[in-house]
């Protein structure tokens, strides 16, 4: 059995028993990267020196019998829009190709406190804008199940790396589905927590009212461990929720008797690949066998979610990305005529087409004369979408459906058609707009590629989401499948 197929608890037992060292784990990670990353292209930057030094320190600690953190010794990859002190953070953009952060994101600090080992930084769609990883300005990451296919986006590097067995777990970020959709396409587990549960301090902002950091793992138990390590209030993030952090790991009881599940007809009626639908219905049957009950519900404003999202996310992006002006960090154009010219040329040279398109859309939606028709209208539509969820959660504990309407598509297939690409996120976007938590877990295969089941919960009820996902996983083998690389 490959090292990274072991459960976290087994890895920790072997470390404690002296059968394994952290240095061996880290070696295994770099070995697997050397073996596979030429084909997968998940990493942008590797930190061999830092990782080996950290591993040696942890091994010493192990010998000295010190206390071990929750993620002790586990090799981790970090999406490249989460800043890491002294380790290049590019956001997948030429604009930041030389950016050397002067601090760690809170989530990274917490990972370090939990004693995981950072292996390097993972590829992504530029500034997290995209659903396929083809918008990385360096190179596209490939799906480990079939390297002709996309891994999903924008945390495609994170998902592909975990699926390829290069790292034990990875951090990603999700704005409209960017953790869940690539997790589904790559056959792994991806959790987007409730908005505000994990600090966004040090996450390079795309759409601040939607962005969330979350774990990508091989199984639900690992997701609970990573969440436990990184959740919690942060005074450095003014939108961080000040709530008590429950015992996520303890919530994995395996018992889901009596849980009431709603299945939105809007997620399974139209535009869904019949084989994806079949896998989701099979999964519902399994949940029913385990004692849950389900009924069809309606989230009637789903058809407006994609339009709402693209207006709001682009508007926020146009504002957030104004900071990339070539003055304080990032690249600067050669020989500008004047200051305005410096801004314009630095941005035009450094930013890619999808980023420019969204800045343009957002600037337009916020501009004088159009604000009411676009931005304000979208804010009101968001209220209606959120109310759909509030209403649904009055009668059910969870909402379940597909993570994406199809399996992964071929690289290049949708590049020229941004609107079609946007519609891939139809099942994940409403959840982001409502700010509630959701997990994607593997639930089968279609067309030779993995299918994801999305389990959505009430705000701050990650425990029920994890419990149901874990129970499902314990009674199926989908999460044990590995791509042949």
Partner 1 sequence: MSITIKDVEHVANLARLALSDAEKEQFTVQLNDILKYVDKLGELNTDDVEPTSHVLQVTNVMREDEVRASLPVETALRNAPDEEDGQFKVPAVLD
Alpha-carbon distance 210 to 50, whole Å? 32
State which residue, 52 or 97, has the beta carbon closest to partner 1: 97
Of 48-56, 126-134, 348-356, 463-471, the segment contacting partner 1 by CB under 8 A is: 348-356
Alpha-carbon distance 473 to 444, whole Å? 11
Give the chain's end-to-end CA distance (angstroms, integer). 15
Residues 302-331 binding partner 1 (CB under 8 A) are 303-304, 306-308, 310-311, 318, 322, 325-331
Alpha-carbon distance 135 to 88, whole Å? 19
State which residue, 16 or 373, has the beta carbon closest to partner 1: 373
Of 34-42, 175-183, 370-378, 447-455, the segment contacting partner 1 by CB under 8 A is: 370-378
State which residue, 74 or 381, has the beta carbon closest to partner 1: 381
C-alpha distances in Å from residue 244, one per residue of 79, 233, 388: 27, 8, 26
C-alpha distances in Å from residue 485, one per residue of 121, 161, 297, 435: 21, 12, 40, 36
Phi, psi of 264 (to 5 degrees): -70, 125
Q: Are strands 260-264 and 212-217 parallel, antiparallel or unpaired?
A: unpaired
**Is 298 a residue that touches partner 1 (CB under 8 A)?**
no
**Whether the Cβ atoms of residue 382 and residue 433 lie closer than 8 Å to each other:** yes
**Is 353 a residue that touches partner 1 (CB under 8 A)?**
yes
State which residue, 113 or 360, has the beta carbon closest to partner 1: 360
Sole binder of partner 1 in the list 97, 286, 377, 482 (CB under 8 A):
377
Q: Count interface residues toward partner 1 (CB under 8 A).
A: 69
Sole binder of partner 1 in the list 251, 379, 447, 464 (CB under 8 A):
379
**Whether the Cβ atoms of residue 470 and residue 227 lie closer than 8 Å to each other:** no
**Is 275 a residue that touches partner 1 (CB under 8 A)?**
no
Residues 392-431 binding partner 1 (CB under 8 A) are 418-419
Helix, strand, or coil here: 410?
strand
Q: Is 286 a catalytic residue?
A: no
Active-site position among 178, 199, 314, 432: 178
Alpha-carbon distance 452 to 464, whole Å? 18
Side-chain half-sphere CA neighbours of 90 within 13 A: 26
Sole binder of partner 1 in the list 78, 361, 408, 456 (CB under 8 A):
361
Active-site position among 79, 109, 192, 277: 79
State which residue, 338 or 484, has the beta carbon closest to partner 1: 338
Name the strand (E) or helix (H) holding 45. Answer: strand 43-46
Beta bridge partners of 46: 120
**Is 200 a residue that touches partner 1 (CB under 8 A)?**
no
Alpha-carbon distance 26 to 33, whole Å? 11
**Is 239 a residue that touches partner 1 (CB under 8 A)?**
yes
State which residue, 257 or 328, has the beta carbon closest to partner 1: 328
Residues 88-107 binding partner 1 (CB under 8 A) are 98-100, 102
CA 240 to chain centre: 18
Give the CA dihedral 237, 240, 242, 246, nearest 10 degrees.
-120
> How big is the chain, counted in residues?
485
Q: Is 79 a catalytic residue?
A: yes
Largest CA distance in the chain: 70
Residues 209-228 binding partner 1 (CB under 8 A) are 209
Q: Is 380 a catalytic residue?
A: no
**Is 235 a residue that touches partner 1 (CB under 8 A)?**
yes
State which residue, 2 or 102, has the beta carbon closest to partner 1: 102
Q: How far is the CB of 388 from partner 1 (least distance, A)?
A: 12
Q: Which residues bind partner 1 (CB under 8 A)?
A: 98-100, 102, 195-196, 209, 235, 238-239, 241, 301, 303-304, 306-308, 310-311, 318, 322, 325-332, 336-345, 347-348, 351, 353, 356-357, 359-361, 363-364, 367, 373-374, 376-384, 386, 418-419, 433-435, 459
**Catalytic site positions:** 79, 154, 178
């Amino acid at each position: 059995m490959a090292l990274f197929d072991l459960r976290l608890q087994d890895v920790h037992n072997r470390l404690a028993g002296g059968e394994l060292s952290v240095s061996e784990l880290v070696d295994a990670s770099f070995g697997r990267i050397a073996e596979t990353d030429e084909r997968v292209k998940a990493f942008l930057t590797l930190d061999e020196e830092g990782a080996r030094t950290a591993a040696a320190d942890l091994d010493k600690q192990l010998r000295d019998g010190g206390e071990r953190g929750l993620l002790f010794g586990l090799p981790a990859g970090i999406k490249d829009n989460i800043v890491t002190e002294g380790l290049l953070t590019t956001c997948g953009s030429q604009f930041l190709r030389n950016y050397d952060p002067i601090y760690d994101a809170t989530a990274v600090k917490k990972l370090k406190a939990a004693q995981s080992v950072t292996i390097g930084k993972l590829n992504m769609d530029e500034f997290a804008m995209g659903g396929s990883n083809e918008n990385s300005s360096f190179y596209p990451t490939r799906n480990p199940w079939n390297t002709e296919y996309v891994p999903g986006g924008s945390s495609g590097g994170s998902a592909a790396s975990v699926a390829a067995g290069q790292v034990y777990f990875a951090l990603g970020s999700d704005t409209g589905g960017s953790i869940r959709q690539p997790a589904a396409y790559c056959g792994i587990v991806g959790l987007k927590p409730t908005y505000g549960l994990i600090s966004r301090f040090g996450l390079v902002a795309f759409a601040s009212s939607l962005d969330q950091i979350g774990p990508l793992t091989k199984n639900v138990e690992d997701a609970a461990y990573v969440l436990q390590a990184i959740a919690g209030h942060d005074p450095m993030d003014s939108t961080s929720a000040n709530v008590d952090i429950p015992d996520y790991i303890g919530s994995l009881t395996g018992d889901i008797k009596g849980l009431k599940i709603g299945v939105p007809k809007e997620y399974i009626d139209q535009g869904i690949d019949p084989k994806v639908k079949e896998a989701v219905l099979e999964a519902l049957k399994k949940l029913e066998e385990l004692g849950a009950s389900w009924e069809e519900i309606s989230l009637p404003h789903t058809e407006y979610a994609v339009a709402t999202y693209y207006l709001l996310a682009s508007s926020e992006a146009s504002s957030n990305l104004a900071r990339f002006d070539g003055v304080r960090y990032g690249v600067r154009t050669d020989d500008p005529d004047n200051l305005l010219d410096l801004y314009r040329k630095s941005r035009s040279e450094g930013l890619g087409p999808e980023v420019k398109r969204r800045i343009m859309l957002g600037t337009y939606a916020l501009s004088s004369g159009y604000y009411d028709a676009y931005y304000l209208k979208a804010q009101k539509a968001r209220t209606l979408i959120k109310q759909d969820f509030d209403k649904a959660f009055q009668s059910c504990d969870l909402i379940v459906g597909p993570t994406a309407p199809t399996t992964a598509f071929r690289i290049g297939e949708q590049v020229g058609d941004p609107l079609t690409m946007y519609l891939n996120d139809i099942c994940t976007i409403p959840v982001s707009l409502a700010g509630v938590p959701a997990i994607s877990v593997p639930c089968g295969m279609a067309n030779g590629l993995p299918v994801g089941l999305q389990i959505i919960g009430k705000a701050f009820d990650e425990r029920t989401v994890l419990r149901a996902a874990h129970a499902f996983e314990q009674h199926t083998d989908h999460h044990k499948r590995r791509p042949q690389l």
